[in-house]
Structures are given as structure tokens and as C-alpha cells.
Structure 1
């Protein structure tokens, strides 16, 4: 198990099939950073409480909407043009790097908050992922299951 959330996220994302699953969930409106945080919390045995869910959402939602999403939109908007324009392609790569750094900052903020909560107290593993995905109504539940299996093997 990775000690910090960023390392956990990187190692999880590198597993076979996880990148595509995360991108699919993201397209459906899920906050992948929150989902990865949830899986990390499950592995740490942190008990799910409604106030903890709310605390994580209060950190993630404004950061996603005001920082990550605008960078993502620019990156996507430039995709086609950047294939024809090398200078724009280079700028797009810089935007992509900024987007990744913004996600890293979000994970750091989530981790800072989560480290306040005791580990090893959860008796049922599996509630964090579903709890953090609950607000995305049209989310592919099979994709959530695939993400869990990629991390836990169950």
C-alpha cells in the first residue's frame, strides 16, 4: 500500500485498464481524484462518515470547477488544431502538464484533510468509492467495479 495519496494515484493509474476506466468515469461526470482518494481511504481502513464525505467534496468541487476543468477544456479544445500546428501542440502539452499539477494539488489537499481521520477503524471496505460516486447519477457502475478490482483484486 502506498503511504501518500499521490503515489497511490500514480500506481493505481498505471495498472492495466485503469486509465481507460478513469477516463470513461470522468466523461460521465465523476471526479476521478475523489474516486482515487476513496479507494486510498478504503485501503487505509478509514471509516466512512457523512461529514467526511462532505469535507472531501467541499475541497474537491470548487477546485475541479475553477482550476482543473478550465485547463481540461482548453486542452480538449486545442486537440484538433494542435495536430496541425506544432507550436500550439507544445502549448497544449504545457496546459496538459498544468492540468496534471492541478490534480496533484487537489490530491494533496484531500490527503491533508484525510490524514486527520483515524485509520484501521472501518469494518466494511467498499463504501468510500460508492459514496463519493453517488452524486454522478449516470455513472457506469461496472466501471466503478472495474476500478475497485484493479486496485483491490476483489
Structure 2
């Protein structure tokens, strides 16, 4: 697969600390890593989505994410404790990456139909706030939002 979002995502995810911060957002705040990367890509393009557009996109992605991506990830993680399943875990990792690529294809298709607006000041932070669920520890959420904003714009 090749589109500007996928290429950007691969580049960003490979930077120091980005994967760790994205996975923390995923595990602690139920964030979809592909949407975090999409928000960063939009910002780099000088664009942003409003809250209604984010809800629309999340709704469109939800079936694939919940029925394919999440179960593959959960199974791969559970099998960490099963040494004999190391080869199968590796195959699951490949399938999970393919599922993530499909989700990025879906995001790209949605993006081509959507009308993103020009980004204002603090556009990435505002978009990330919409993608990280609120939690009891708001200071941790704020810390992670700041970290992601810096890392994804570096």
C-alpha cells in the first residue's frame, strides 16, 4: 500500500519514542494509533477536522477496529506468555500489521471524501484531545498529550 498517510505513518512510528508514546495512548486512553498518526499528518498538511468529523471517521472505522484489529492485538499479547507459540505470535504480528494497513486505507478513503479545514493554532493538540478518552488521572493525560504533540511534530 502506498499513500501519503501510510508513508508518513511509517516514518513517524520509526522515530525514537513515538511508538512508545502512541502505544501508551492506546493502552491507557483507548486511542487508535492510526488516528493519532492521521491527526499528525493532517497538522503537517495545515489541516484539521472538527469534532463531528472525528466522530464520523471513528464510527466508520469502529467495526474493523473492534472486530479485526483489537482481537488480533489481544491474542498476540496473550501469547507472550506461551513460549511454544513464538512462531504463531510472529504470524499474528504480520496479520495485525496488515489489519492496521487496511485501517489506514479506510482512513485515506475517508480523507479523500472529507473536507478538512485549515488548521488553527495548536491544531494537533486540539485534535489529539479528541482522540484520547478522558481518564481519572487528567494530569497523566495532559502529560501524554504534550509528549505526543512534541514527538509527532518533530
Q: With structure 1 as the length reference, what TM-score do the two structures score?
A: 0.84
- In the TM superposition, residue 14 of structure 1 has moved relative to its aligned partner by 0.9
Look up the match of 2:103.
106
Look up the match of 2:11.
11
Look up the match of 1:47.
48
Q: Does 1:27 align with 2:32?
A: no
Structure 2: which 5+ runs fail to align?
Answer: none
Checking the alignment, whether the CA contact within 8 Å between 1:44 and 1:120 is kept in structure 2 is no
Structure 1: which 5+ runs fail to align?
Answer: none
Q: Does 1:130 align with 2:141?
A: no
- Secondary structure of 2:93's aligned partner: helix
Runs of 4+ in 1 over 4 A off after TM superposition: none
Look up the match of 1:78.
79
1-structure distance, mates of 2:116, 2:50: 13
Structure showing the higher helix proportion among its residues: 2
CA 1:44 to 1:117, structure 2 compared with 1: closer, same or farther past 3 Å? Answer: farther
Checking the alignment, whether the CA contact within 8 Å between 1:34 and 1:60 is kept in structure 2 is no
Checking the alignment, whether the CA contact within 8 Å between 1:46 and 1:117 is kept in structure 2 is no
2-structure distance, mates of 1:27, 1:119: 28
2-structure distance, mates of 1:56, 1:145: 24
Report the count of equivalent residues: 145
Please provide the CA RMSD for this pair.
Answer: 1.9
